[in-house]
Amino acid sequence: MTATHESEPHHPGVGDRLNWLRAGVLGANDGLISTAGLVIGVAAASVSRQAVLTAGIAGLVAGAVSMALGEYVSVSTQRDTEKALIAKESDELATQPREEFDELVQLYRDRGLSEETARRVAEELTAADPLRAHLEVELGIDRDELASPWQAALSSAASFGIGASIPILAALIAWNRILWVVLAVAVGLLATGFASATLGDADRRRAMVRVLGGGLLAMAVTYLVGRLLGTTGLA
């Protein structure tokens, strides 16, 4: 008797949602490290609490805007390219239906199906929605799931801002400011490392150690730069 098991749920757009989540985790990680480095560098060079907070907030705003603009431009380019490919494929289906059908059959044969099976699958998909069939198999595009530039921009800015706010809030502590920033950022980095490994089904411990090590190195470098360029040590 064949053992039965509950199949994994598969829904349209799951891969896209995971990509957005990973991008959010990476954005938060960037916000943590870049803003912490800025805050620690200024704190190592100046005892002024106002200077530290000003640098941190400026870093948060600049970083969030930069992330948003970068994502908007990148995703807009991707979306424009996908829309152009959709238009091209639609035109080819209208002017060369026979050639496009044969191409679809060959694509399924390249995936390991027999000639008969590939032709039958191509016929059924073409009867239902030829454009969708070609886009998904030939180009890997779902016309109903095109990326949104505004969504990408806002989510990147928000995730960066959340990460950047952690070292800024830690810098509000009046005593051993740098120590508290390092501790707060270390906890945040461990969280983002755990989240990214979980989303990618990777080794969590290795990911956490890797992210934490990189963040601590970045903070150490900016601290040394601040000490070299400044006139004071710990605030």
pLDDT in tens, 31-57: 999 999 999 988 888 778 888 899 999
- Let me know if residue 119 belongs to a domain: no
How many domains does the chain divide into?
1
Q: What is the mean pLDDT of residues 102-116?
A: 87
Nearest Cα neighbor of 165 from 38, 56, 40 is 56
Place of tokens 């960037």: 30
Q: What is the pTM of this model?
A: 0.74
- Let me know if residue 215 belongs to a domain: yes
What is residue 5's predicted lDDT score, i.e. its pLDDT? 43
Contact 2, 179 (CB under 8 A): no
- Let me know if residue 175 belongs to a domain: yes
- Let me know if residue 233 belongs to a domain: no
Those residues whose C-beta lies under 8 Å from the C-beta of residue 225, and which sit 6 or more positions away, are 41, 44
Structural domain boundaries, residue 200 = 19-69+155-227
What is residue 18's predicted lDDT score, i.e. its pLDDT? 60
CA angle in degrees (0–180, nearest 5) for 57-214-184: 50
pLDDT above 70: percentage of residues in the chain: 89
- Let me know if residue 56 belongs to a domain: yes
Is the predicted pLDDT of residue 106 greater than 60, yes or no? Answer: yes
How does residue 234 score in pLDDT terms, banded at 50, 70 and 90?
very low
Nearest Cα neighbor of 78 from 28, 153, 11, 3 is 153
Q: What is the mean pLDDT of residues 145-159?
A: 86
pLDDT in tens, 5-25: 444 444 445 555 566 677 778
